[in-house]
Amino acid sequence: MSSSVYSFTYLRSSALHTGAGGPSLALETSGGLTSHGLAPFPRFFAGFLTAPEAAAGSLLAVADVAATRYWQPLRRASLDPVVTGSGDRLRFESFSGCGGVYARLDVLPAGIDGDMLGTGTTNVDVNAPLREALAMVGGSDPLHMAVGPDDVTVTTFDGPVVEKKVPLPDRWLRGFAEVQVIAARFDLRAELTAVEAVRFLRSLPRNTRQTLWVRPQGRTLRTAPGPSAGAVCIAGPDRLRALARVLRHAKALRVYGPPVGAAAGPAASAWEVELPGMRLTLTLSPDATRGFSGEGAVLGDLATDEAAADADLVSALLAWEPRIDVGDLARDAGLTAERVRAALARLGTSGRIGYDVSEAAYFHRELPYDTGKAERMNPRLRGAHALVDDGCVLPDGTAAARVVSGPTTYQVRLAGDGSCTCEWWAKHRGGRGPCKHVLAAQIVRRRTQPAAAAAAPAVPAQLGAEAEDA
């Protein structure tokens, strides 16, 4: 697995200070993009958290995920969470080192009492001493929080900076691209009270990577023998343990997942804990041994020339909205809602779009990494374009094609979910998105028959697993 080394530069380390007015949490930021352009140390918020103990536990949960490899746990991760100021709220996000768990804390307007000072996205320093201090925050302590240094500090600072050099796996970057497309297909499957949520989560088996299926039953969830309508997959129950930090503050637990049938394979799921003035959500990949990066959910959108042009148009209309209204974007861009969603999916591959399952809405962010690699480094997409460029796709009507790859000619059908006679499709049967042969045939069909392509739905990428991306 390749990786890039990223350098995060902070004026100083984040810290929890104590004083006569109570504890004060100073979260230091690294360089990032804001509504005013690039900033070395952006400042997003200064004020109080209305539920300090729950907020401290939630920040620790996001940091727990960033510091954990649930697969190969002996290889410790060391990644700083991402924070986005969205005008009326703060979002803290992280991925696990193995790329299979995505965590997000949404601190909502009801959870903050202070001034939102800016919009944008950057990394936030969460170090070991800060983690120890956050674990000691009590429920009755008022907690002041500043996200980013004030202007006086920035302009007068002349001391040494704090620099962290972190190996960031390319697979981790691609996970951000995949998870927003996958989560957009989720529906609410169950809602548990705080008491039932604690009881259910504590009943899950420990120290196992097995895949479980659960179904709503009465006021709780019960283990099911397998997939069925309304069921939710839990791949690796241990990966939900970060939620334990906040369960005593929980108001409810909501569970989200895609539609499944009796023959469904393992699927991703999202687990959202409602807290006072905030939400903590963990999204799990379909298999505990694999991350999100190879799911293939974005490939259909990446392979369209139309979505590329639409994405350029839609990106000019983004304005750090905490909740993107697809209908409003469609009206402003002069596009259909379907084309706007495809454009948003494509923008998600560069980290510019996230998806909130609770509000069933997209949101704008700008990850401080070279996330364009999500598209450039996808092996299936590269392979598909190479087949097209070499003239290896031979259309056979509007819904089929022959694709010559090496000494073998594969038969591709584009109807329904699409299919191919290659080993990839035989192994995954569409469960990890289209193979490179189906992608190549899609590209050629759209270029040679634009009218038909505009009318036909994109081949949906089913949920599946990761590992190899061949």
Domain at 41, CATH number = 3.10.150
Q: What does the alpha-carbon distance between residue 30 and residue 9 come to, in Å, rounded to a whole number?
A: 5
Q: Are 295 and 337 in contact (CB under 8 A)?
A: no
* 470 pLDDT above the threshold of 70: no
> Does 324 share its domain with 420?
no
**227 and 111 fall within a common domain:** no
What is the residue-wise DSSP string for 241-285?
GGGGGGGGG-SEEEEEE----TT-----EEEEEEETTEEEEEEE-
> DSSP assignment of 130-157, as one string?
HHHHHTT--TTS-EEEEES--HHHHHH-
Q: How many CB atoms lie within 10 A of CB 465?
A: 24
C-alpha to C-alpha distance for 175 and 354, rounded to whole angstroms: 11
Higher pLDDT, 446 or 148: 148
**Cα 323–chain centre separation:** 16
Same domain for 235 and 148? no
Specify whether 156 is located in the same domain as 49.
yes
202 part of a folded domain: yes
Position 366 in a domain: no
Q: Does 373 map to a domain?
A: no
Angle, nearest 10°, between helix axes 337-348 and 326-333? 100
Q: pLDDT band at 439, cuts 50/70/90?
A: confident
Whole-number average pLDDT of the chain: 85
CA–CA gap between residue 304 and residue 404 (Å, rounded): 21
Question: In this structure, are 317 and 446 located in the same domain?
Answer: no
Model confidence at 74: pLDDT above 70: no
When comparing pLDDT for 307 and 212, which is higher? 212
The reply to whether 457 falls in a domain is: yes
The reported pLDDT for the residue numbered 3 is 64
Least confident of 82-96, 151-165, 174-188: 151-165
Residue 260 falls within a domain, yes or no?
Answer: yes
Domain count, the chain: 4
Q: What do you get for the CA distance between the two ends of the chain, in Å?
A: 13
Show which of 145, 167, 189 is a domain's final residue: 167
The residue segments making up the domain with residue 213 are 178-284
* Same domain as 159, residue 42: yes
**Percent of the chain at pLDDT exceeding 70:** 87
Residue 265 has pLDDT above 90, yes or no: no
Q: What is the dihedral of CA 31, 34, 36, 40, to 10 degrees?
A: -10
Do 194 and 249 sit in the same domain of this protein?
Answer: yes
Q: 139 and 48 share a domain? A: yes
Does residue 149 share a domain with residue 11? yes
**Residues contacting 286, CB < 8 A, separation 6+:** 233, 235, 265, 266, 267, 268, 295, 463, 464, 465
Evaluate whether 286 touches 227 at the Cβ level (below 8 Å).
Answer: no
Q: What is d(CA 249, CA 139) in angstroms, rounded to the nearest whole number?
A: 10
Tell whether 88 is covered by a domain: yes
pLDDT at 427 over 50: yes
Same domain? For 17 and 153 the reply is: yes
Q: Which of 41-45, 235-239, 278-282, 321-325 has the highest mean pLDDT?
A: 278-282
| Closest alpha carbon to 168 in 244, 78, 299 | 78
The predicted model scores a pTM of 0.83
Q: 167, 188, 215 — which closes off a domain?
A: 167
Angle at the Cα of 282 (from 118 to 138), degrees rounded to 5? 70
Written as one string, the DSSP assignment of 235-252 is E-GGGGGGGGGGGGG-SE
Is residue 357 one of the residues assigned to a domain?
A: no
Are 45 and 116 contained in the same domain?
Answer: yes
Confidence of residue 2 (pLDDT cuts 50, 70, 90): low
Among 167, 194, 213, identify where a domain stops.
167
E-strand ranges in 1-51 read: 3-10, 15-17, 24-27, 32-34, 37-39, 45-49
Q: Is the domain of 44 the same as that of 128?
A: yes
